Amino acid sequence: MREDDTDWFTRWEEELPSPEELIPLSQSLISPDLALAFDIRLPNNSGQPHHHHHSTPPPQLPSSQANSSGAGDEPARTLKRPRLVWTPQLHKRFVDAVAHLGIKNAVPKTIMQLMSVDGLTRENVASHLQKYRLYLKRMQGLSSGGGGGSDPATDRLFASSPVPAHFLHPNRVPSSDHFMPSFVPIATLQQQQQLQPPQFHHRQISAAHYGSPTANGQSFLARQTQQQTLQRMSTPSLHSPVGNYVEDLESANANGGRTVLTLFPTRDD
DNA sequence: ACGCAAATAT
DNA sequence: GATATTTGCG
């Protein structure tokens, strides 16, 4: 059975998200513009200060921190944020994080830390994780039972990202017998703890809502100018994604006023 | 802090 | 109505 070993190893390797996907963490749920609009304090990359960009003034937040004088203005934590929309991308990041943490360490807090998505809370992750587990459970039941393949619309999101093999196995994780290249400690210790609450100034913006189950996946909006999206242009501007950027978050209250925060446009991955 | 089921909110 | 969030318990 040694073939099995090498086999799974290979598969395991392939499943690995590119370093770029996990390491350069610190994605932002909030676009700079939005952040400004909301007076959100975007945590800078305070991990490894690469000081080799002299001409790149980080879009720091001059931010209005002039309110530190206690004038009733620190409800950051107690403020209700808009519902988080789990885009396929965001979910993928979630899955990657879980995959690399291993089932064992994949708890809301660590997942959240690994994901390094600004604005993402532990509750967000916990909630998502709970649902994801249910999804995995369902998957197992279906695959082993012998039922037909079905893609419930309910699982669309989860289906958007491949499920790492180990997730379905209540078995063992590839850690005891093999040495996991522990490239884990990426962003494990970082911000958070005392300077995390992105304070939303509930202005009145609505982001896009993504509730178009019937449509494929054209659901994206909210954009900004981060490498994240830029790297996607393997082919010369075939489609100009970079045209309608931002501003997508606008009146979307067609439904009654749903304020939602969403992530990058991204097609799929 | 976790996890989970159920209730609740959008 | 689908989804995300909150709540109550262990």
Distance of alpha carbon A7 from its chain centroid, rounded? 30
Provide, in whole angstroms, the distance separating residue A81's CA from nucleotide C10's C1': 29
3-state class percentages of chain A: helix first, strand second, coil last, to nearest 5: 35, 5, 60
Nucleotides of C under 7 A from a protein CB: 1-6
* Nucleotide with the nearest C1' to A122 CA: B1
Name the residue with tokens 């994801």. A132
* Nucleotide with the nearest C1' to A256 CA: B10
* Nucleotide with the nearest C1' to A158 CA: C3
Residue nearest to nucleotide B5 (CA to C1'): A130
Name the residue with tokens 């530190």. A68
Measured distance CA(A225)–CA(A102) in Å, rounded: 32
Name the residue with tokens 């350069």. A24
Question: Quick one: pLDDT at residue A248?
Answer: 30
Measured distance CA(A16)–CA(A226) in Å, rounded: 23
On the 0-12 / 13-18 / 19+ scale of CB atoms within 10 A, A184 is: middle
Question: Quick one: pLDDT at residue A127?
Answer: 97
User: How far from A14 is each of A8, A85, A165, A169, A244, CA to CA, in Å?
Assistant: 10, 28, 11, 18, 34
Provide, in whole angstroms, the distance separating residue A122's CA from nucleotide C9's C1': 20
In 3D space, the residue among A8, A166, A7 whose CA is nearest the CA of residue A101 turns out to be A166
Nucleotides of B under 7 A from a protein CB: 1-6, 10
Question: Quick one: pLDDT at residue A263?
Answer: 45
Question: Quick one: pLDDT at residue A197?
Answer: 41
Give alpha helix (H) positions in A52-162.
88-105, 108-115, 122-145, 156-159
Positions of chain A with pLDDT lower than 70, given as ranges: 1-78, 142-154, 170-269
Say whether pTM exceeds 0.75.
no
Provide, in whole angstroms, the distance separating residue A1's CA from nucleotide C6's C1': 48
Provide, in whole angstroms, the distance separating residue A113's CA from nucleotide C8's C1': 26
Structure tokens at A67: 């309110």
pLDDT, tens digit, 9 for 90 and up, residues A199-210? 443 333 233 333
Rounded to 5 degrees, φ, ψ at A107 are: -115, 160
Which residue ranges have CB below 7 A from strand B? Answer: A 80, 83, 106-110, 122, 126, 129-130, 133-134, 256-259
From residues 4-63 of A, list those within 7 angstroms of strand C by Cβ.
none
Query: Collapsing DSSP states into helix, strand and coil, what is residue A77?
Result: coil
Provide, in whole angstroms, the distance separating residue A231's CA from nucleotide C4's C1': 30
Provide, in whole angstroms, the distance separating residue A228's CA from nucleotide B2's C1': 32
